[in-house]
Structure 1
Amino acid sequence: MSARLKLTLSYAGFLMLASALLLAAVWVFLLRYVPDGVNTPGMFGPNRSDLERAFVPKAAAALVFLLVFGLVGGWMLAGRMLSPLTRITHATRLAANGSLSHRIGLEGRKDEFRELADAFDIMLARLEAQVAEQQRFAANASHELRTPLAITQTLLDVARNDPDRDADELVERLHFVNTRAIDLTEALLLLSRADRRSFVRESVDLSLMAEEATETLLPLAEQRGVTIETSGDIAPTIGSHALLLQMTTNLVHNAIVHNRPEHGTVWVTTSVDPRNVVLTVENTGGNLSPQLVSTFAEPFQRGSKRTRTDHAGVGLGLAIVQSITQAHDGTLSLTPRDAGGLRVVVRLPAASPRPTGTPAATSTSASRVT
């Protein structure tokens, strides 16, 4: 049975039940004022037998009419009530066939059907955006993975055609290309893991993540003459220790390699508010336009107008940061600094309010980095 037929029978059944109860009430009311037995001489008015002959046929006819009226009216009313579901079903079938651009666009007052249709439209919009992003990502990933393979093939062809070529140079170049391919593959796997949210959640302190990432990248900062300053409060959140450490490391590494050629600075701070913990990473550098900054979190966007170095990466650093942030129900914002450079702010849900009087996290002294 279709939903429309079920609703029709429900409406008609309810109408028949209400009508039967009403007629029963009328019958009981009339019986109170009609004497039983046969009329006696000198008395006027009907007795119960007369009432039955007059009332029952008309009551039966009324019930038959109400049954027909309930079925017809219920069918029409059910069709009107279920018409939004027909549009939603049509949109669902189009989406199942791959057409994600269709929208229901249900008009009228805001009721349960309107909320369902609006939620479905939002879902379709997100699916369309995700599919487009995945297609673009797959195309970029295929191109990026094909590049080291093509370079390797070229090097091997040259070596085969030139037996006298220096083998050590060939091995060194092959090692460099292979390392880049491994880095890219690991970055893609990490990005996929963050998108799937397939990780164990535990209590994590972002201030400790900042310290660990800074300690790990101190040699790189020293090599480039970059000063790193870390400070802030204990910032507890819930998430994956490995992914959040990777997120923080990516941000600090990005701030180091895209900095001034010398005497650059990186600021890493953590803070808390009633609902969120905040990780902020800023660096010095050239002036950046908001339009350029808005593309930094897209996969394989290396920021061509930023300072290029031999640590250019695979173009997934900030894309991984964004995926990890979204997987932890947080937000990522990138803004250019007025004095040059980039300011990155990650907001994650706080695990619990920070107790009063909790000391700030230990800072990494700037004097440790030259």
Structure 2
Amino acid sequence: MRSGVRRPRGMSVRSKLTLSYAGFLMVAGFLLLSVVLVFLLRYVPAEINTPVSRREFPGGVEIGPPFIPNRYDLWRAFWPKAGIAMGVLLVFGLIGGWILAGRMLAPMNRIKHATRLAAEGSLAHRIQLEGHRDEFRDLADAFDVMLARLEAHDVEQQRFAANASHELRTPLAITQTLLDVARNDPGHDPAELVDRLHLVNDRAIELTEALLLLSRANQGAFTREPVDLSLIAEEATETLLPLAEKHQVSIETTGDVAPTTGSHALLLQLTTNLVQNAILHNVADHGTVWVNTVADAGAVVLTVQNTGEQLTPQLVSTLTEPFQRGTQRIRTDHAGVGLGLAIVKSITQAHAGSLDLTPRPDGGLRVTVWLPATPGGDDHQGTRTALG
């Protein structure tokens, strides 16, 4: 069932254009004939007074004035012919206008066909108008770009829904298995069962909260306010100092004031995810994480680097996809839910920024986040090192 306002069928655009062409041609023809008539009437007197003249013929003599047309005679002879010319112009305008309107609206018919296919769910169709650039081709190209983005978004959403369903089903399946084991083994230690169920439940809660945060970032449903990215970086690193100490990783934080506009909570989550990943995916002992902020050329830049194993560009290119954990560089006791960098990417895009991941030549990963800068704040620099 189609939704929307039901409107009565009116005159087609082609008919309107045809009448417009014909009407314009009639007005132009009428004005042209009027100008010609006025020009001729200027040289014809209103009344003709001629003296009697004597003209001789072989058969006799005729006496009388010669015939000279006046304005009334010219008027009476001009308008019938003008009416015929106007009729010809009307027929020519209707036929020519109908043909021209059809040729002009041919691209619109292709756009309308593509729109109907898209409304029916077919996003793979493209208009691809040929010829030189004009308004119709600009519209068609913009529509093709929109269809391509919608198709990519639809595919991404389907893949994400499938992955999320699989990930959410995993803790439920584990819970069901634990309960079945407990039912079949009455002598099983209930305390151990409760502990394992608690861990599985915590993981399910963590995954659900990550999915909700990802959805919130994708929808852009947050309040924007002035924030300083350098202060957010300091807050995130201070929060994660115990984790860095546990893994014997040192964190070095440097940077300038980096004013931008956005959600403090989401940008803190972005920075926390990056620093936490840099800590967990590091070398076994005495690793390092570098966090830097800078404001330059209308943008603020957050860079998080870490030491670690050598990463291939192919692996790095998949790390921002949901549930892509990069298993060869993640410790089994801190596997996470596979949404950390996906959340970072969504938050960055929601703040009109860009994200870049590159492997470091000496091992590890460099993550750079660009966000639009806003004026304000005093420049300062600081360096802080924490060793776990």
After TM superposition, the structure 1 = structure 2 runs for residues 174-213 of structure 1, keeping only pairs within 5 Å, are 174-213=197-236
Aligned residue identity for 1:133: E
Query: What is aligned with 1:4?
Result: 14
After TM superposition, the structure 1 = structure 2 runs for residues 161-240 of structure 1, keeping only pairs within 5 Å, are 161-240=184-263
Structure whose CA Rg is larger? 2
On the 8 A contact 1:238/1:351 being kept in 2, the answer is yes
From 275, 279, 282, the counterpart of 2:298: 275
Query: What is aligned with 2:24?
Result: 14
- Unmatched 5+ residue regions in structure 2? 1-10, 52-64
User: Does residue 379 of structure 2 align to residue 369 of structure 1?
Assistant: no
Q: For 1:68 and 1:288, locate their aligned partners in 2 and report how far apart those are by CA, in whole Å.
A: 75
Query: What is aligned with 1:285?
Result: 308
- Unmatched 5+ residue regions in structure 1? none
Q: For 2:174 and 2:49, locate their aligned partners in 1 and report how far apart those are by CA, in whole Å.
A: 116
CA gap of 1:266–1:309, structure 2 versus 1, over 3 A, is: farther
Q: For 1:84 and 1:120, locate their aligned partners in 2 and report how far apart those are by CA, in whole Å.
A: 12
Query: What is aligned with 1:360?
Result: 380
From 151, 156, 167, the counterpart of 2:179: 156
Query: What is aligned with 1:102?
Result: 125
From 41, 46, 68, the counterpart of 1:36: 46
User: Does residue 317 of structure 2 align to residue 299 of structure 1?
Assistant: no
Aligned residue identity for 1:14: F
1:44 CA displacement: 5.7
1:39 CA displacement: 5.9
TM-score (norm 1): 0.96
Q: For 1:287 and 1:10, locate their aligned partners in 2 and report how far apart those are by CA, in whole Å.
A: 70
Aligned residue pairs, count: 365
Q: For 1:224 and 1:185, locate their aligned partners in 2 and report how far apart those are by CA, in whole Å.
A: 27
After TM superposition, the structure 1 = structure 2 runs for residues 251-266 of structure 1, keeping only pairs within 5 Å, are 251-266=274-289
Aligned residue identity for 2:149: R
Q: For 1:3 and 1:360, locate their aligned partners in 2 and report how far apart those are by CA, in whole Å.
A: 63
Aligned residue identity for 1:263: H
1:351 CA displacement: 1.3
Query: What is aligned with 2:36?
Result: 26
Superposition RMSD in Å: 1.3
Query: What is aligned with 1:349?
Result: 372
On the 8 A contact 2:48/2:68 being kept in 1, the answer is no
TM-score (norm 2): 0.92
1:68 CA displacement: 1.0
From 22, 47, 52, the counterpart of 2:75: 52
On the 8 A contact 1:257/1:309 being kept in 2, the answer is no
1:82 CA displacement: 0.8
Q: For 1:315 and 1:99, locate their aligned partners in 2 and report how far apart those are by CA, in whole Å.
A: 31
Aligned residue identity for 1:27: L
Aligned residue identity for 1:13: G
Q: For 1:131 and 1:161, locate their aligned partners in 2 and report how far apart those are by CA, in whole Å.
A: 44
